[in-house]
Structure 1
Amino acid sequence: MSRLKEMRLKRNYTQIKVQMMTGIDQSDYSKLENGRRYMTFEQCRKLALALGTSMDYLAGLTDDDRPYKRSKDVT
């Protein structure tokens, strides 16, 4: 299972909910989740914020799914 799908299901979000939170079209998100498309930097950033994790976790650079401490609220 992809990390995107894992985090989405962990939070009980639907793909439509993720679309509403990030502005990423549901069909594009589905392709990202199923590995048929790569994330852009901006998509990865939006998804990390929406799913409460780090970009490094989504990119597979760490196995720790906790978000980094932020010095200010990032939107």
Structure 2
Amino acid sequence: MYQRLRDLREDRDLTQQDIATLLKVSQATYSRYESGALDIPSSSLMKLAQFYKTSIDYLLGLTNNKRPYY
């Protein structure tokens, strides 16, 4: 479901643990976010969008435009 999260992470040569640390969750929790087994809290989506310099809409697959709205 969240292939873009994985792609963005791998494009930067980051591990799931790296992103889990950023979000202050366990690696297992972040893995479930990436697989779609667990919904990502809005606060985590905001952190990920800021970190990757993109929009939440892009992360969720609602747009193909990577540029943030600000």
Same fold at TM > 0.5: yes
Structure with greater proportional helix content: 2
Which residue pairs with 1:51 in the alignment? 52
Structure 2, unaligned stretches of length 5 or more? Answer: none
User: What is the deviation of 1:6?
Assistant: 0.7
- Secondary structure class of the residue paired with 1:62: coil
Instruction: Give the root-mean-square deviation of aligned CA atoms.
Output: 1.6
1:21-32 equivalence runs, <5 A: 21-32=22-33
Runs of 4+ in 1 over 6 A off after TM superposition: none
Q: 1:25 and 1:46 mapped to 2: Cα distance?
A: 16
The TM-score with structure 1 as length reference comes to 0.77
- Residue-pair matches, total: 69
The TM-score with structure 2 as length reference comes to 0.81
User: What is the deviation of 1:2?
Assistant: 0.7
The one-letter code of the counterpart of 1:6 is D
Which structure would you say has the larger RCO, counting Cα contacts within 8 Å and 6 or more residues apart?
A: 2
Residue 13 to residue 67, structure 1, CA distance change in 2 (3 Å): farther
User: What is the deviation of 1:23?
Assistant: 1.4
- Secondary structure class of the residue paired with 1:63: coil
Aligned partners of 1:56 and 1:62 also within 8 Å: yes
